[in-house]
Amino acid sequence: MAGIKDVARLAGVSPATASRALSGNGSVSARARQAVTSAASELGFIGSYHASSLATGRSRNVGVVLPYVNRWYFSTLLEGANAALMDAGYDLTLYDFQGDRYRETVLGDFLLRKRLDGVIAVSLQLNEHEVKQILSAGIPVVGVGGPLPGMATIRTDDPGIGRQATEHLISLGHTRIAHIGGEHEVGRYFKISTGRRVGYEEAMADAGLPLRDAWSLVSDYTLNDAYAQAKHLLANAAERPTAIFAASDEMAAGALLAARDLGLRIPDELSVIGVDGHEMGEVLGLTTIDQFARQQGTRAVDRLLAQLKPGAEPTEPADELVQTRFIVRSSTAAPYIRARSR
């Protein structure tokens, strides 16, 4: 069986250079790295994970912590993170809280076993004790969804997203605008849904438009539940809004399906806008605000690996605001009555 010295001899480099090239640790020119990987492939060389781990003190394993893995945003972000980690030669260990079921176990035990080089924590609002626990273990952390003291983070401007979506509907002439959002987050998770609701309420107040309790719906971010909520709201013709801002594309899709089943024409009798950039939005003609979920996962990995790079200088953790893109499609237009009167 070929060893590292055989790989180095064939590649024309020293064993130390061959080792650095294959482990990803240390500075190696692109030309030398290519020669080493080609030689390793030709010889069928498989490096020893345990030997590399002992030599470098690194496991080349990154933990990704999610509240749910079966929701589109989280699974799409995970896809981006996984691809970036694989490209960098890292393994990924997934911790799915399943809501709150395993939160204490993961934060109080799994992340502190030092089997990980770093952690990406998605949508988790860590308390002071949890932050100290993780930082004391010497594990670099990148948070996604909101600021975390002492940790690098990336996030979207959720109140700004809510305001932008609502102002789009107002600019079209809508005055009867409903909102479908998630539960009011308390302590455990970043206030993403709450932020979008706040933006909606601020935009409505600035335009002098009424906020009705019956028009502020709480859903669980799934298509089925949003469908049921929207259908109940839209069935009352006397109190029916002319537009709905949903805090996710899946909930927006539920509202579109509810309107269709009630015989409402989109967008003449109801305009709908969502948030995410879900691939089904193009098929449904859904106006949306794309938050580039996959790229959020990639960016989180980039920031984490920058901290793990050998010789990296410690930097002050920064809170990075990621960009979004407004996409107007056929699900939003001026209210039918107003358009007909012109």
Give the residue extent of every domain in the chain.
Answer: 4-56, 61-156+293-310, 158-290+326-341
Q: What is the CATH number of domain 4-56?
A: 1.10.260
Under the banding of pLDDT at 50, 70 and 90, the label for residue 100 is: low
Burial grade of 46 (CB within 10 A; 0-12, 13-18, 19 or more): exposed
pTM above 0.85, yes or no: no
What value does the mean pLDDT of the chain take?
A: 85
Distances 143 to 96, 117, 160, 231, 301 between C-alpha atoms, Å? 15, 15, 20, 36, 10
Confidence band, pLDDT 50/70/90 cuts, at residue 36:
confident
pLDDT of the residue at 55: 45
Distance separating alpha carbons of residues 141 and 265, to the nearest angstrom = 48
Closest to 317 (Cα-Cα) out of 148, 121, 105: 148
Q: Would strands 216-218 and 271-276 be described as parallel, antiparallel, or unpaired? A: unpaired
pLDDT confidence of 111, banded at 50, 70, 90?
low
Q: Which residue has the tokens 């080349």?
A: 60
Residue 145: CB atoms within 10 A of its CB come to 24
- Whether residue 113 is predicted with pLDDT greater than 90 in this model: the reply is no
Which residues lie below 8 Å from residue 226, measured CB to CB, with a gap of 6+?
180, 217, 219, 246, 250, 251, 252, 253, 254, 255, 258
From the candidate CATH numbers 2.30.30.140, 3.40.50.2300, 3.40.50.1820, 3.40.50.300, the one assigned to the domain spanning 61-156+293-310: 3.40.50.2300
Identify the pLDDT of residue 95.
Answer: 83
- Is the model's pLDDT at 287 over the cut of 50? yes
Q: Which helix (H) or strand (E) holds 62?
A: strand 61-66
Judged against a pLDDT cut of 70, whether residue 35 lies above it is answered with: yes
With a cut of 50, say whether residue 69 has pLDDT above it: yes
Query: Is 223:256 a contact under the CB 8 Å cutoff?
Result: no
Residue 192 has pLDDT above 90, yes or no: no
Q: Please give the class, per CATH, of domain 158-290+326-341.
A: alpha beta
Give the per-residue pLDDT at 97: 75
**Hey, do 61-156+293-310 and 158-290+326-341 end up sharing a CATH topology, with the first three levels equal?**
yes
CA–CA separation, 94 vs 69, rounded Å?
A: 9
Residues 219-227, mean pLDDT to the nearest whole number:
92
